[in-house]
Amino acid sequence: MCGIVGYIGKRDSQDILIEGLKKLEYRGYDSAGIAVFTANGLEISKSKGRLAVLEDKLRDEPLAGSVGIGHTRWATHGKPSDVNSHPHTDNSAKFSVVHNGIVENYLDLKDELTAKGHVFVSETDTEVISHLVADEYDGNIVEAVQRAVKRMRGAFALGVLTEFEPEKLVAVRFASPLVIGIGEGENFIGSDIPAILEHTRNVYILNDGEMAVLTRDGVELMTTEGEFISKEIYHVDWDLVTAEKAGFDHFMLKEIYEQPKAYRDTMLGRIADDGKSVDLKELTMDADYIKSIRKVHIVACGTAYHAGMVGKTVIESLARIPVETDVASEYRYRSPIITPDTLVIVVSQSGETADTLAALREAKRNGARVLAITNVVGSSVAREADDVLVTWAGPEIAVASTKAYTSQLIAFYLFGLHLAGVLGTKAEAEVAALISAMHELPEQVEAILEQSAVLKQVAESISSHKNLFFIGRGVDYAVAQEGSLKLKEISYIHSEAYAAGELKHGTLALIEDNIPVIALVTQEELYEKTLSNIKEVKARGAHVLGIANAGSEVEVSKSVDELFAIPKTLPLLSPALSVVPLQLISYYASLALGHDVDKPRNLAKSVTVE
Ligand code: AGP
């Protein structure tokens, strides 16, 4: 994910910016750059690749000056390349901008500015901001930024410089984090605390709609409406390693807590303002093609495959197109029947998984169109697919996938609704109800996270067991699979996920006294059936934790030993909530057993071998 650092002071800024960016490397990036006021004016140096590439460039042509901004880019709009890297500038090269986030209406703004004579060189949304600020400028950079921001929709954090006012560094926060570091005779901006921690522990944490104007000697805080505000200074007492994890003990926990944001970001700009339809403008497949799809294959590995299992139900129920799911390592060896009217959807957080990539190539070889759902814009999967639906989860560092999985679910909901809109397979009211329920998901996840202490207790009691079962029906079964994988990979406790109705065909023999069973019971139509299956395991001595919807506690609690209620949502959306307690149980079980949560044994984050 992109990183921002900025400096205004008396020291040379180049090294401060580069060192600050290095502290943000853990977030992932594909290019980097800095802009500095030098004796020649505002100069920019940027390049695709690791920071070392930029450092080499700067070694040959250093940028000397004591005011500057820097950025590590994680490609969103436009591939990783020198020209798409930040900082961006306008045609006069007098303004420079670094940006984290997404400007939703950048195409409209770009058209408008192009008509006024602005010429764009990159594919990014950020370049539009530098032109917009230049266009709004009439002698006051703060007011120009305020006017520009008023015209922008989306989520963004900005650092802005102009050669016309070289004594100012302007920073803005709008739904994308930004902190201001307070020094003596120098001040800083950073998208994250680690970027500036080496220089100061005193920070202002900006809220949405707030901005700061930094000079060497002070920081003025105001809203983007221009109203001056004051803020308490926050003293950071974390060390660097904790700061990288934003105060969380592990990346996995941080990423679990980032899910509400990941949901919001993945939905951003993809739902019509009236909340009645989904429009995935980034897809090149047109209505005629969508109408010609006869079947869908969803292919992926591990957690991404589990998201695909939910995706199957989503597409079949919203678009009424038959869907097959395949584990990618099996797909090409089973001679799948792929025809030109097959849409193959590959799902991959990293976009680099060898088996998924091979499946994609197999699909294309057979004439199918491929849609990639991925979290990494410039990845191999994204480059080779015909269409890409990006999950805006931000880089996922923990090996155990959490926010990437739930963002994949959101992508499937959006795609299913997009198909339904084109095919007319769902009534407008039903689509609107689903969209409205999707908007509630982030807050509902937050409500689950608030109950983490209860789940910690559950995890601690589970951690003394050697075996465990997850059961569920319908999409609950798909979530059970993911819950089981999560627990196995980081706690090393053996578990199995079973379709609740299938237990009695063999597995029931393994149920013995006190064995923990986690039963997902979120599908109202299937309540009675699942409750009967719970009774089957209880009768054989199992200790059952039920995960059920709020409102059904009374009914479900009669059949289980413990109950964890999740906020009520529409049945199709429940995986986006019910998986969260399972993630937390796995996390706390791993912690209780003293394992390396973020780097479990034998596993790699990206599996680039077959
Ligand atoms: C998830 O927790 C796993 N670490 C793993 O199953 C992962 O989802 C799988 O390897 C696929 O990775 P990808 O999404 O990057 O393709």
How far is Cα 516 from Cα 210, in angstroms, rounded to an integer?
A: 49
Look at residue 244 in the predicted model and tell me its pLDDT.
77
Q: Does 165 share its domain with 181?
A: yes
Among residues 181, 214, 242, which one ends one of the domains? 242
In a domain, 302, yes or no: yes
Among residues 210, 242, 274, which one ends one of the domains? 242
CB 155 within 8 A of CB 265: yes
pTM of the model: 0.79
Please give the average per-residue pLDDT across 132-153, as a whole number: 96
The torsion angle over the Cα atoms of residues 422, 426, 430 and 434, rounded to 10 degrees, is -60
- pLDDT class of 419 with cuts at 50, 70, 90: very high
- pLDDT class of 555 with cuts at 50, 70, 90: confident
- Judge whether residue 28 has pLDDT over 80: no
As given in the structure block, the two tokens for residue 559 are 């059949």
- Position with higher pLDDT, 192 vs 421: 421
Q: Which residue has the tokens 């951690």?
A: 463
Q: Does 483 share its domain with 419?
A: no
Per the structure, how many domains does the chain have?
3
531-541 residue pLDDT tens: 999 999 999 99
In a domain, 604, yes or no: no
How far is Cα 4 from Cα 87, in angstroms, rounded to an integer?
A: 10
Q: Does 488 share its domain with 468?
A: yes
Protein residues with CB under 6 Å of any ligand 1 atom:
301-304, 348-350, 353, 356, 399-401, 489, 606-607
As given in the structure block, the two tokens for residue 24 are 């943000």
- pLDDT class of 596 with cuts at 50, 70, 90: very high
Q: Does 94 share its domain with 127?
A: yes
Look at residue 413 in the predicted model and tell me its pLDDT.
98
Partner residues linked to 346 by β-bridges: 299, 372
In a domain, 447, yes or no: no
Q: Does 173 share its domain with 263?
A: no
Nearest ligand 1 atom, CA 353: 16
In a domain, 600, yes or no: no
Q: Does 310 share its domain with 418?
A: yes
**In CATH, what number is assigned to the domain containing residue 69?**
3.60.20.10
What's the mean per-residue pLDDT of the chain? 93
- pLDDT class of 196 with cuts at 50, 70, 90: very high
In a domain, 606, yes or no: no
Please give the average per-residue pLDDT across 17-40, as a whole number: 90
- pLDDT class of 172 with cuts at 50, 70, 90: very high
Look at residue 599 in the predicted model and tell me its pLDDT.
87
Please give the average per-residue pLDDT across 583-595, as a whole number: 97
Nearest ligand 1 atom, CA 485: 2
Look at residue 24 in the predicted model and tell me its pLDDT.
85
In a domain, 602, yes or no: no
Look at residue 377 in the predicted model and tell me its pLDDT.
76
Look at residue 610 in the predicted model and tell me its pLDDT.
64
CA of 190 to the centre of ligand 1 (A): 30
Q: Does 282 share its domain with 426?
A: yes
Partner residues linked to 98 by β-bridges: 159
CB atoms within 10 A of CB 247: 13
CA of 235 to the centre of ligand 1 (A): 37
Q: Does 235 share its domain with 305?
A: no
**In CATH, what number is assigned to the domain containing residue 530?**
3.40.50.10490
Amino acid at residue number 238: W
Strand ranges (E), 81-153: 88-89, 95-103
Look at residue 21 in the predicted model and tell me its pLDDT.
94
In a domain, 605, yes or no: no
Among residues 419, 441, 463, which one ends one of the domains? 441
Please give the average per-residue pLDDT across 165-172, as a whole number: 96
CB atoms within 10 A of CB 422: 17
- Judge whether residue 350 has pLDDT over 80: yes
12-22 residue pLDDT tens: 999 999 999 99
Q: Which residue has the tokens 């008509």?
A: 115
Query: Interhelix angle for 13-22 vs 51-60, to 10°?
Result: 170
Please give the average per-residue pLDDT across 175-179, as a whole number: 83
Q: What is the DSSP string of 443-492?
A: HHHHHHHTTHHHHHHHHHHHTT-SEEEEEESTHHHHHHHHHHHHHHHHH-
All residues at 6 or more sequence positions from 95 whose CB lies less than 8 Å from its CB, including other chains: 42, 89, 130, 133, 134, 137, 160, 161, 162, 163
CA Rg value for the chain = 25
Nearest ligand 1 atom, CA 399: 4
- Judge whether residue 27 has pLDDT over 80: no
Look at residue 591 in the predicted model and tell me its pLDDT.
97
38-80 residue pLDDT tens: 999 999 999 998 899 999 999 999 999 999 999 999 887 888 8
CA angle 305, 586, 389 (to 5 degrees): 30
Q: Does 214 share its domain with 107?
A: yes
Q: Does 430 share its domain with 333?
A: yes
Mark 538-556 as b/e (b = at least 16 C-beta within 10 Å).
bebebbbbbbbbeebeeeb
- pLDDT class of 307 with cuts at 50, 70, 90: very high
Q: Does 524 share its domain with 491?
A: yes
CB 386 within 8 A of CB 371: yes
DSSP state of 186: -
CB 103 within 8 A of CB 126: yes
- Judge whether residue 264 has pLDDT over 90: yes
Look at residue 1 in the predicted model and tell me its pLDDT.
63
- Judge whether residue 428 has pLDDT over 90: yes
DSSP state of 207: P
399-415 residue pLDDT tens: 999 999 999 999 999 99
Q: What is the DSSP string of 365-423?
A: HTT-EEEEEES-TTSHHHHHSSEEEE-------SSS-SHHHHHHHHHHHHHHHHHHHHH
- Judge whether residue 26 has pLDDT over 80: no
Please give the average per-residue pLDDT across 578-590, as a whole number: 98
Query: Interhelix angle for 475-491 vs 302-319, to 10°?
Result: 170
Residue identifier of the C-alpha nearest atom 16 of ligand 1: 348
Q: Which domain holds residue 348?
A: 246-441
Catalytic residues: 2, 605
DSSP state of 271: B
| Mutation choice for ligand 1 from 251, 298, 299, 301, CB with most ligand atoms inside 8 A | 301
- Judge whether residue 139 has pLDDT over 90: yes
As given in the structure block, the two tokens for residue 117 are 């004579």
In a domain, 610, yes or no: no
How far is Cα 610 from Cα 604, in angstroms, rounded to an integer?
A: 13
CA of 233 to the centre of ligand 1 (A): 40
Please give the average per-residue pLDDT across 199-211, as a whole number: 92
How far is Cα 160 from Cα 142, in angstroms, rounded to an integer?
A: 9
- Judge whether residue 243 has pLDDT over 80: no
CA of 302 to the centre of ligand 1 (A): 5
Look at residue 608 in the predicted model and tell me its pLDDT.
67
Q: Does 230 share its domain with 251?
A: no
